[in-house]
Amino acid sequence: MGLRAGKTPMIVDATAGLGRDSFLLASLGAQVTLIERSEKMHALLVQGMKRAAREGGQIREIIGRMTLLKGDALDVIPELAGEAILIDPMHPERKNSALVKQDLRQVREIVGSDDDAADLVRLAIKHARKRVVLKWPAKAAPIEGVKKCTHQIIGKTTRYDVFMIS
């Protein structure tokens, strides 16, 4: 996402979900704006962030760097001018659903699938100032209708398709 020593970009997490990626980025010092369109996921996140802030200390500081917005990122992103935009849509359903972690199965029960992910990536590429990062299953085909990424960071189960903005 462009974090390095002494550099903490303004990040937009367009698909907040359980807020884990945002929490991680904020714990590394980034200011993160989270966007969530599901009423229920948004309400759960509000509760979770409040509870976390009550812990005080470092956790409160990290939560202080996270700003949660309710809405569709397709509408909100054009107004934000984010330096780096993270997109982690619900992944295509795996054949072996036993491999899908329980927490993500629960999110899927709430939000269903994100069939407009290609629109979101294209819009993010148009509005991000530096980069867009798409988190996607390591072995899945690229999302149809999105241009080729600049480079990829590939993990065991997840890969990150990075689109640098020139």
Residue 6 beta carbon to ligand SAM: minimum distance, rounded to whole angstroms: 25
DSSP 20: H
Stretch that binds ligand SAM, among 49-57, 82-90, 93-101, 146-154 (CB under 6 A): 82-90
Query: Does 146 engage in binding with ligand SAM (CB under 6 A)?
Result: no
When asked if residue 19 is in the footprint of ligand SAM (CB under 6 A), the reply is: yes
Q: Report CA Rg, the chain.
A: 15
By CB under 6 A, is residue 11 in contact with ligand SAM? no
Q: Output the CA torsion 161→22→113→153 (10° steps).
A: 20
32 touching ligand SAM, by CB under 6 A? no
**Using the rule CB under 6 A, is 79 a contact of ligand SAM?**
no
DSSP annotation of 4 reads: B
Could you tell me the two tokens for 30? 């980034």
Dihedral sign from CA coordinates of 49, 54, 59, 64: positive
Which residues are near ligand SAM by CB under 6 A? 14-15, 17-21, 35-38, 41, 72-74, 88-90, 107, 111, 114, 120
